[in-house]
């Protein structure tokens, strides 16, 4: 299944690599943004199925609130991707879980698949081991 | 005229006399009455309550002396009385007594002839002077039995009066000393930069210094009793109350950090400490406490924490950037895909290990419970799970903590072992498993990696890959241990035998240093 994915990541290299991986998998990356404000604008303008959200963005540690808002208010499925998963140790309401960076293509693929299946209500037997689920 | 001898304990005697504080005080009815009664009982014209000072005799009460308030010690009859061992001296006729025959008070005015005196002796035995009568006529018969009794009883009365005065005087001095010490305490307490308070043994606050009222801005007395708790931040009240009750119950030192409301309404982090004062029996008589504003210190600490967190974030982020850079570079060169994948996986293993390195701040603490070897290895082997999500690498044995120096080596060693097992060993078949045993053996720490259920092993491979060299380098080069591989038919067994200090070298250095 292909999805419209928004990458929210302030490290350009990491974002670019992620974009390539997702496009290889057949997804449509509708944008890579580096701060929370631009992310909100983009999510408001266009349909987003899944957002990959880093916690430390170019405007500070704004990823957590952004992820919660996208998930709870804007109907976006949210996966956090961060080098510091301790920041979301207690979980974030309305989001799926967290993937620890650096990661690899396979982990990204399985985590994205898992999140999209959950979004569509498809039963999933178990989550990929690299993905730490909330709740 | 022979001068009166000095009593043997003259110096102490003078000190005692001084301590009563009677010398040179005004006349008092109590002593005048005694002198009058004594004179009447003896039918004598002169009666004295006479105190013998270093070089004079001084009359506390005097009857019939025509205004004389004392004499030199030399001419004093009483000075002779106190020099002897007897409590009583009677001189029937001074002219017939070689000690007094040429005494100017005898040869001249007022022509003293008869003397009867009884020494005024303190409970400690010091002779302060004497109660005495004089007559200007000789009394060959001396004193009657009744007069003798009278002298004895009245002299005791004089001493009793003296004692009473001494007791009152000491009490007054005590009260004054206490007031002085109280004033000193308040002066010190009020000039301290800290807030100072005190309570009764049951914890009832009855004293705060000026600094407390200055800081909190509350009216004096308004925080007596339990009112102090209301000055704390609502979130800290229950905790502080519980801690205080615990100290009151156990007598243990009270120490706690809480936020205290300043007069401008801002809550400042404060260190509260209190210690009990005990009496001779060990019973708590009071608590004395201080509050110290540590808000600035706290902020500095938080700033430092923030900085080290930021640094830690940056370091972890760099791993992510490097990893992405390798993947992006490999896209240019499809032939390098395998190579890039291997490098990337190694980088990722290193990054993962740094997640688990101690120390951690509250925020950078990893998501999994604890930062130990076992939790790290569990995370590292997460990708090698079976269909039910159970790890195929089973970790068992003694756990340990490790530092950043050991992190790289431990990560590389087990990354290589697992990658190799996934390619050629036990993890290459669905039913294969690995048992990783960790054992703390005194000064050694031994990790044993045993593969089972994989393809049967023919023997040592003819060619060792780079991964294998990396594993050896990590253990023998970096950790200072020994790595041994055994290709058993059932599966590979690898034993890493490390010095116990290898995992936390910095901590080990701190211990011995």
For the segment B388-406, what is each residue's pLDDT rounded down to a tens digit?
A: 778 899 999 999 888 777 8
Of the candidates A20, A126, A132, which has its C-beta nearest B389's C-beta?
A: A126
Q: Is B364 on the interface with A (CB under 8 A)?
A: yes
Q: List the domains of chain B with CATH numbers.
A: 10-170 (3.30.450.40), 192-293 (3.30.450.20), 298-512 (3.30.565.10)
Q: Which pLDDT score, from 0 to 100, does residue B370 have?
A: 57
Q: Is B366 on the interface with A (CB under 8 A)?
A: yes
d(CA A52, CA B453): 39
For residues B257-272, b (16+ Cβ closer than 10 Å) or e, as one string? ebbbbbeeeebbbbbb
Average pLDDT (B204-208) is 91
**What percent of chain A lies above the pLDDT cut of 70?**
99
Retrieve residue A79's tokens: 């996966």
The distance of Cα B264 from the centroid of its chain, to the nearest Å, equals 32
Mean pLDDT of chain B: 88
In this predicted structure, the answer to whether residue A47 has a pLDDT above a threshold of 50 is yes
Give residue for tokens 């035998």.
B497
Q: Is A130 on the interface with B (CB under 8 A)?
A: yes
- DSSP one-letter code for B94: G
Q: Is B363 close to A126, i.e. CB distance below 8 A?
A: no
In this predicted structure, the answer to whether residue B313 has a pLDDT above a threshold of 90 is no
Q: Which pLDDT score, from 0 to 100, does residue B367 have?
A: 46
φ, ψ at B192 (rounded to 5°) = -75, 145
d(CA B324, CA B328): 6
Chain B's closest residue to A54, CA to CA, is B317
Retrieve residue B449's tokens: 């990696």
In this predicted structure, the answer to whether residue B501 has a pLDDT above a threshold of 50 is yes
Q: Is A18 close to B324, i.e. CB distance below 8 A?
A: yes
Find out if CATH 3.40.50.300 is the number for domain A4-133: no
Q: Which pLDDT score, from 0 to 100, does residue A80 have?
A: 95
d(CA B70, CA B77): 12
The four Cα atoms B483, B484, B485, B490 give a dihedral, to 10 degrees, of -120
Q: Is A109 on the interface with B (CB under 8 A)?
A: no
Q: Which pLDDT score, from 0 to 100, does residue B368 have?
A: 44
d(CA B303, CA A33): 29
Q: Which pLDDT score, from 0 to 100, does residue A63 have?
A: 94
Least confident stretch, A23-32, A72-81, A90-99, B384-393: B384-393
In this predicted structure, the answer to whether residue B318 has a pLDDT above a threshold of 80 is yes
Which of B290, B288, B287 has its CA nearest to residue B260? B290
Assembly ipTM? 0.87
Q: Which pLDDT score, from 0 to 100, does residue B245 have?
A: 94
pLDDT tens-digit map of B207-260: 999 999 999 999 988 888 888 888 999 999 999 999 999 999 999 999 999 999
Q: Is A85 on the interface with B (CB under 8 A)?
A: yes
- B467 Cβ contact list (under 8 Å, min separation 6): B342, B416, B419, B420
In this predicted structure, the answer to whether residue B358 has a pLDDT above a threshold of 60 is no
pLDDT tens-digit map of A85-122: 878 888 899 999 999 888 888 889 999 999 999 999 88
In this predicted structure, the answer to whether residue B369 has a pLDDT above a threshold of 70 is no
Mean pLDDT of chain A: 90
Q: Which pLDDT score, from 0 to 100, does residue B361 have?
A: 52
pLDDT tens-digit map of B405-430: 788 888 889 989 998 898 889 999 98
φ, ψ at B270 (rounded to 5°) = -135, 140
* Band of residue B183 on the pLDDT scale cut at 50, 70, 90: confident
- Distances in Å between the alpha carbon of B101 and those of B7, B83, B114? 22, 18, 11
Domain-wise residue ranges, chain A: 4-133
Strand-by-strand arrangement of the B56-63 sheet? B70-72, B56-63, B46-52, B127-135, B114-121, B88-91
**What percent of chain B lies above the pLDDT cut of 70?**
95
Q: Which residues of A touch B389 (CB under 8 A)?
A: 126-127, 129
Which of B117, B162, B156, B149 has its CA nearest to residue B41? B149
**What percent of chain B lies above the pLDDT cut of 90?**
52
- A115 Cβ contact list (under 8 Å, min separation 6): A50, A77, A79, A96
Q: Which pLDDT score, from 0 to 100, does residue A86 have?
A: 79
d(CA A16, CA A13): 5
In this predicted structure, the answer to whether residue B69 has a pLDDT above a threshold of 60 is yes
Chain A's closest residue to B349, CA to CA, is A102
Inter-residue contact B239 to B229 (CB < 8 Å) = no
Inter-residue contact B239 to B219 (CB < 8 Å) = no
Q: Is A123 on the interface with B (CB under 8 A)?
A: no
Average pLDDT (B155-184) is 90
Q: Which pLDDT score, from 0 to 100, does residue B507 have?
A: 60
């Amino acid at each position: 299944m292909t999805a419209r994915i928004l990458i929210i990541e302030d490290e350009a290299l990491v974002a670019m690599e992620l974009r390539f991986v997702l496009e290889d998998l057949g997804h449509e990356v509708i944008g890579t943004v580096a701060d929370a404000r631009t992310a909100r604008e983009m999510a408001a303008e266009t349909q987003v199925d899944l957002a990959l959200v880093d916690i430390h963005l170019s405007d500070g540690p704004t990823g957590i609130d952004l992820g919660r808002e996208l998930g709870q208010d804007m109907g976006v499925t949210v996966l956090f991707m961060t080098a510091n998963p301790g920041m979301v140790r207690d979980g974030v309401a309305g989001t799926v879980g967290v993937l620890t960076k650096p990661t690899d293509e396979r982990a990204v693929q399985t985590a994205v698949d898992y999140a999209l299946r959950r979004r569509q209500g498809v039963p999933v037997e178990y989550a990929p081991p690299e993905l730490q689920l909330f709740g | 005229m022979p001068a009166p001898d000095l009593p043997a304990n003259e110096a102490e005697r003078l000190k005692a006399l001084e301590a009563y504080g009677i010398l040179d005080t005004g006349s008092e009815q109590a002593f005048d009455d005694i002198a009058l009664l004594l004179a009447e009982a003896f039918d004598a014209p002169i009666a004295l309550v006479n105190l013998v000072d270093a070089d004079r005799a001084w009359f506390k009460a005097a009857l019939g002396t025509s205004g004389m308030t004392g004499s030199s010690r030399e001419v004093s009859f009483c000075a002779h009385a106190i020099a002897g061992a007897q409590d009583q001296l009677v001189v029937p006729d001074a002219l017939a007594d070689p000690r007094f025959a040429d005494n100017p008070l005898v040869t001249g005015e007022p022509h003293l002839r008869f003397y009867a005196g009884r020494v005024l002796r303190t409970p400690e035995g010091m002779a302060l002077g004497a109660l005495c009568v004089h007559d200007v006529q000789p009394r060959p018969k001396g004193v009657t039995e009744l007069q003798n009794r009278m002298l004895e009883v009245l002299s005791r009365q004089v001493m009793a009066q003296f004692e009473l005065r001494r007791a009152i005087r000491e009490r007054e001095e005590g009260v004054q000393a206490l007031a002085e010490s109280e004033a000193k305490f308040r002066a010190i307490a009020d000039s301290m930069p800290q807030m100072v308070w005190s309570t009764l043994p049951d914890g009832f606050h009855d004293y705060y210094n000026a600094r407390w009222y200055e800081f909190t801005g509350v009216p004096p007395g308004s925080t007596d009793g339990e009112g102090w708790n209301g000055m704390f931040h609502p979130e800290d009240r229950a905790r502080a109350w519980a801690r205080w009750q615990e100290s009151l119950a156990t007598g243990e030192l009270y120490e706690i950090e809480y936020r205290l409301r300043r007069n401008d309404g801002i809550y400042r982090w404060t260190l509260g400490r209190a210690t009990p004062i005990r009496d001779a029996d060990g019973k708590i008589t009071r608590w004395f406490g201080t509050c110290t504003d540590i808000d600035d210190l706290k902020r500095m600490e938080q700033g430092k924490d923030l900085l080290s967190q930021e640094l830690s974030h940056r370091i972890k982020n760099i791993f992510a950037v490097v990893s992405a850079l390798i993947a992006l570079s490999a896209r240019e060169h499809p032939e390098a895909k395998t190579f890039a994948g291997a490098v990337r996986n190694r980088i990722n293993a290193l990054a993962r290990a740094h997640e688990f390195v101690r120390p951690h701040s509250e925020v950078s603490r990893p998501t999994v419970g604890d930062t130990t070897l076992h939790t790290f290895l569990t995370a590292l082997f997460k990708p090698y799970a079976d269909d039910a999500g159970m790890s195929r690498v089973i970790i068992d044995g003694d756990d340990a903590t490790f530092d950043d120096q050991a992190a790289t080596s431990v990560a590389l060693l087990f990354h290589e072992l697992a990658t190799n097992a996934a390619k050629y060993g036990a993890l290459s078949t669905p039913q294969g498993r690995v048992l990783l045993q960790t054992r703390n053996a005194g000064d050694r720490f031994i990790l044993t990696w045993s593969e089972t259920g994989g393809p049967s092993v023919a023997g040592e491979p003819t060619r060792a890959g780079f991964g294998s060299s990396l594993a050896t380098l990590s253990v023998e080069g970096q950790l200072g241990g020994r790595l041994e591989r055994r290709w058993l038919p059932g599966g590979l067994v690898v034993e890493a035998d490390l010095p116990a200090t290898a995992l936390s070298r910095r901590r080990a250095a701190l211990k011995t240093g």
